[in-house]
């Protein structure tokens, strides 16, 4: 545990502030770790020179007694956030040569706070996936392996590169985005913390759009405290995103250890699903016992429309995606097909070559549910269901302050295991999508290991803009679970 890369974000921050370690030293340790971890394929683009420059500038600020909340701390950025002058691919061939002329608001907030960029992390193409196998740049491998086999496992998706980078100690923390679970699900499968904030908490400006009414950026970290620190720096109201909301951003870290005494924790009965491995339910029951032992009041609640959440999501998200992805036409952005006959041929070939199979599937589903004749039957009904799902949460919150649920229906699975069957892949999102449809905040916290030694996560869901309570309850889970297992660094020998 003496390696610099094993520090948490909070520990590194304190060490840098106390001048026990310089940002350059810290950054060198991480650029080395990133390089040594290439077998994980967690990064699409490494930016070690830029990192070193940023670290030197940080050290200069620290020497002058200046410095922001994240001064000198090396982070990884999901390759969905536009970074000025640094290639941003969204995991897609169609953007494989796209160098943005501007910076996303969230990443700009991080640089303004003094953070250092190590590079851009691999992800499912346009954030569509639950295993990081749809990336044009190849799959990401989970740092964790099962005790019973050396098979390569998926890290979850779509923020799989960020999850692997945090879990494998290749960065202090990373950004992710969550449209239907893409922060929480990979966090759970990779044994780290992932927080999806309330819709509107972070600006979406400069984040490549998937489904605009669902997309939210959030922190992926090794501890709940680190998530609290990063969340504060990422959040802001932004005139360039009209859906960002002007509510004060509290010092989440300050309230973290206040405990859960008297907190009403709802247990949604619909999250008990047939066919889930018994370990998932057992961990959930353990979570209930932990919170109860710390003084929380446990209440049974019902979210009756939960079973409609997945079908609703897989209409709404593709519909918005089909519209958002219409801008990639080979003319204004990214890759352009060669040797074309005319403009229609250019559009068709550029899109056929540029988009992978899953993205094409979503565009076709989305276009279909929005087409005249089917719009009322699918899209309008999905919108109505979305309201009912959101209302379920409103009703539940009359009886409780947060909800406790599993984060995923299964632990990390083998690469290739679910790629042939999209529906089995979509089922990974069963516990995460309702939260996005309702726009609520939720955190996944590592809480235990399967008998094969793979991490499992629990999820705390909160009221809109109450990330503070979500983090506090997440911290209570973290304390009780005392999860400190780490993956063996097999990739260093690979
Ligand atoms: N797995 C979900 C999907 O493929 C969620 C993805 C996400 O949150 N970006 O749509």
CA 250 / ligand 1 centre spacing (Å): 28
CA 462 / ligand 1 centre spacing (Å): 20
How is the chain split into domains, by residue range?
2-263+400-493, 307-385
Ligand 1 close to Cβ of residue 158 (< 6 A): yes
Per residue in 27-39, pLDDT tens? 999 999 999 999 9
Please state, in angstroms and rounded to a whole number, the distance separating the CA atoms of residues 132 and 122: 8
Residue 130 has pLDDT above 70, yes or no: yes
Ligand 1 close to Cβ of residue 182 (< 6 A): yes
Catalytic residue list contains 158: yes
Catalytic residue list contains 84: no
Catalytic residue list contains 463: no
Q: How many residues belong to the chain?
A: 494
350: tokens are: 């550029």
Superfamily classification of domain 2-263+400-493: Amidase signature (AS) domain (3.90.1300.10)
Per residue in 456-472, pLDDT tens? 999 999 999 999 999 99
How far, rounded to the nearest angstrom, does the alpha carbon of residue 436 sit from its chain's CA centroid? Answer: 12
Is the overall model pTM greater than 0.85, yes or no? yes
Per residue in 256-286, pLDDT tens? 999 999 999 999 999 998 888 899 999 999 9
13 — pLDDT class (breaks 50, 70, 90): very high
Task: Determine which one of 78, 152, 196, 463 is catalytic.
Answer: 78
Phi, psi of 174 (to 5 degrees): -145, 160
Measured from the Cα of 426, ligand 1's closest atom is 1
1 — pLDDT class (breaks 50, 70, 90): very low
Ligand 1 close to Cβ of residue 134 (< 6 A): no
Per residue in 182-239, pLDDT tens? 999 999 999 999 999 999 999 999 999 999 999 999 999 999 999 999 999 999 999 9
Task: Determine which one of 104, 107, 131, 158 is catalytic.
Answer: 158
């Amino acid at each position: 545990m003496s390696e610099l890369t094993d520090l948490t974000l909070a520990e590194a921050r304190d060490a840098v502030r106390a001048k026990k370690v310089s940002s350059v030293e810290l950054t060198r340790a991480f650029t080395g770790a990133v390089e040594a971890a290439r077998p994980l394929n967690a990064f699409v683009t490494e930016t070690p020179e830029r990192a070193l420059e940023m670290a030197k500038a940080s050290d200069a600020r620290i020497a002058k007694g200046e410095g922001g909340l994240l001064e000198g701390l090396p982070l990884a950025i999901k390759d969905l956030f536009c970074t000025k002058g640094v290639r941003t691919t969204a995991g897609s061939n169609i953007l494989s040569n796209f160098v943005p002329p501007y910076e996303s608001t969230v990443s700009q907030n991080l640089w303004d706070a003094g953070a250092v960029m190590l590079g851009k992390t691999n992800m499912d193409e346009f954030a569509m996936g639950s295993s990081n196998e749809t990336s044009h740049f190849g799959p990401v491998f989970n740092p964790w392996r099962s005790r019973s086999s050396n098979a390569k496992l998926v890290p979850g998706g779509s923020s799989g590169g960020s999850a692997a980078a945090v879990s494998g100690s290749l960065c202090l923390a990373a950004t992710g985005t969550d449209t239907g679970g893409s922060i929480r699900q990979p966090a759970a499968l990779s044994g780290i913390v992932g927080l999806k904030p309330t819709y509107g908490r972070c600006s979406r400006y400069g984040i490549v759009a998937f489904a605009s009414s669902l997309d939210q950026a959030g922190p992926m970290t090794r501890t709940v405290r680190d998530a609290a620190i990063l969340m504060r720096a990422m959040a802001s109201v932004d005139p360039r995103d009209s859906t960002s909301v002007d509510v004060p951003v509290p010092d989440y870290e300050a309230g973290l250890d206040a405990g859960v005494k008297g907190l009403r924790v709802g247990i949604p009965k619909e999250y008990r699903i047939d066919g889930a491995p018994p370990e998932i339910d057992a961990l959930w029951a353990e979570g209930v016992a932990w919170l109860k032992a710390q003084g929380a009041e446990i209440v049974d609640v019902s979210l009756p429309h939960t079973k409609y959440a997945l079908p609703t999501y897989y209409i709404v998200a593709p519909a918005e995606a089909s519209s958002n992805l219409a801008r990639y036409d080979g003319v204004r952005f990214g890759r352009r097909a060669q040797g074309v006959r005319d403009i229609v041929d250019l559009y068709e070939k550029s899109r056929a070559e540029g988009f992978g199979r899953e993205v094409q599937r979503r565009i076709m589903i989305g276009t279909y549910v929005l087409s005249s004749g089917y719009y009322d039957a699918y899209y309008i009904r999905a919108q109505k269901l979305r309201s009912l799902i959101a209302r379920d949460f409103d009703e539940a919150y009359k009886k409780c302050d947060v909800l406790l649920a599993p984060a995923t229906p299964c632990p990390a699975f083998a690469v290739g295991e679910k790629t042939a069957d999209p529906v089995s892949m979509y089922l990974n999102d069963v516990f995460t999508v309702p939260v996005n449809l309702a726009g609520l905040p939720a955190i996944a916290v590592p809480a235990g290991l399967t008998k094969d030694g793979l991490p499992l996560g629990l999820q705390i869901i909160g009221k809109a803009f109450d990330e503070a309570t979500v983090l506090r309850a997440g911290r209570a889970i973290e304390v009780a679970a005392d999860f400190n297992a780490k993956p063996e660094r097999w990739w260093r020998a690979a």
